[in-house]
Amino acid sequence: MIKNLVSTYLKGMAMGAADVVPGVSGGTIAFITGIYTQLLESIRRITPRLFTLWRKEGFKAVWHHINGTFLCVLLAGILTSIASLAKGISWMLTHHPIPLWSFFFGLIIASALHIAKQLPAPRISPKTVLAALLGIGFAYWITIANPLQLTASPLTVFLAGAIAICAMILPGISGSFILLLLGMYSPILDAVHQTQFGLLGLFAMGAVTGLLTFSHLLSWLLRRYYALTLAFLTGLMLGTLGKIWPWKHTLTWRTNSSGEQVPLMQDNLLPGAYEAIVGHPAQVSLAIIAMIGGFVLVLLLERFSPKQD
C-alpha cells in the first residue's frame, strides 16, 4: 500500500514538472507511467450524483467511488513539483535552454512511439492515419499561433485555468503552452513564486471546472473510438515537436509581468545556423546526450509501469 502511494506521488511530481515546461504535457507522463486511464476514470466519476451516494452510503463510499486516495496523492505530487521546480525550470529555460529542450524532445519522440504502440491491430489504416494527420495539423497550428496579451483579471484567470487544464490531461498538448498563447503564463508562474493565493484560487476553480467537463468527453472518446483517439493523440505529440526544438532564434520579445524581456516569436534553426546567427555554441554533444536521456527515461517508465487498461 505504502509502495503504491509513493509511486503515485512520484508520478504526480513527474507530471507537475512536465506541466511547468511550455510544450510538454503532464498527460504524456500520465500515459507512459500507466495511470492515464485510471486518472480519467477517477475524474469522470466526480459528478453531482455523488451527493446522492453520500446520503445513502456515507463519505467512505464516495471516497472509494472516486478513488480519492489516488487523486489526492497524485495532486500532492503535482503541486509539490510545481512549487519546488518552477524556479529551477524557469532558470534552466533562461540559462541552459538547449539541454533542457533536448531532453524533452527525446522524451516526446519516445512518448509518441509509446502511445502508437497501444493502437489495436491493424495499427495503420486510412482512418488512423487521417486521425494522426489531424492531430499533427492541430498541434502545429497551435504552436504557430500568435500569443494573445490578456490582462490577468478574475474572469481571464478563471478561463485560463479551465482551458489550460484540458491541455494538461491531453498527451502532447502542454497546458503551460496554452497559457503562453493566452498571455497568462507569466502571471500564473509569478503567482506561484509570490504565493498569491487569491489568483491561484481563481485559477484552480477554473481548472476544476474545465477538468470535470473535459474528462467526460475524453473518456467517452476513448471508450467509443479508442484507436482513432490514440492515433489523434499520437499526432498531437508529433505536431508539438517543432515547439520544443532546441535550437531557436528569437525574432520578437515581450515584457513579462516582472518587467523581464522573454521570447515571443521564435524560429527553428539547425545547429550550424544557430551558431552563425545567434552566436552561441550549439552544444550538439550535450543536446544529443540529453535527447537520449529523455528517450531512455520513457523506455524505463514503459518497462516498469503497469499497462493501460
For 117-161, write each residue's pLDDT tens digit. 888 877 788 999 999 999 999 888 877 776 666 777 888 889 888
Output the DSSP codes for 192-261. Answer: HHTT-HHHHHHHHHHHHHHHHHHHHHHHHHHHHSHHHHHHHHHHHHHHTTTTT-S-EEEEEEEE-TTS-E
What pLDDT was estimated at residue 266? 76
What is the pLDDT confidence band of residue 172, given thresholds at 50, 70 and 90?
low
Q: Is the dihedral of CA 149, 155, 159, 165 positive or negative?
A: positive
Is residue 255 within a helix (H) or strand (E), and if so which, with residue range? strand 248-255
What pLDDT was estimated at residue 2? 80
How buried is 135 (Cβ within 10 angstroms: 0-12 exposed, 13-18 middle, 19+ buried)? buried
* Per-residue three-class SS string for 288-302: HHHHHHHHHHHHHHH
Average pLDDT over residues 151-174: 80
Model confidence over 40-70: pLDDT tens digits? Answer: 888 888 888 888 889 888 889 999 999 999 9
Residue 211: all three cell numbers together: 477538468
Q: What pairs with residue 253 in β-bridges?
A: 263
More confident of the two residues 10 and 22? 10
Among residues 193, 180, 202, the alpha carbon closest in space to that of 256 is found at 180
Highest mean pLDDT among 25-29, 156-160, 299-303: 156-160
Residue 212: all three cell numbers together: 470535470
Average pLDDT over residues 91-95: 80
For residue 122, is the peptide bond before it cis, meaning its omega torsion is within 30 degrees of 0? yes
What pLDDT was estimated at residue 231? 92
Average pLDDT over residues 283-297: 93
What pLDDT was estimated at residue 258? 53
Give the separation between CA 230 and CA 221, rounded to whole angstroms.
10
**20 pLDDT higher than 90:** no
**85 pLDDT higher than 80:** no
**254 pLDDT higher than 70:** no
What pLDDT was estimated at residue 243? 79
Q: Name residue, grid cell 537520449.
A: 292
Mean of pLDDT over the chain: 83
**23 pLDDT higher than 70:** no
Lowest average pLDDT, out of 103-117, 173-187, 234-248, 265-279, goes to: 173-187
What pLDDT was estimated at residue 263? 67
Q: What percent of the chain has pLDDT over 70?
A: 89
The region that residue 167 occupies, defined by phi over 0 for left and psi between -120 and 50 for alpha, beta otherwise, is: alpha
Q: Name residue, grid cell 486521425.
A: 131
Give the separation between CA 52 and CA 168, rounded to whole angstroms.
30
Residue 5: all three cell numbers together: 502511494
More confident of the two residues 27 and 292? 292
Residue 239: all three cell numbers together: 505536431
Q: Chain-centre distance of CA 252, in angstroms?
A: 25
Is residue 121 within a helix (H) or strand (E), and if so which, with residue range? none
**110 pLDDT higher than 70:** yes
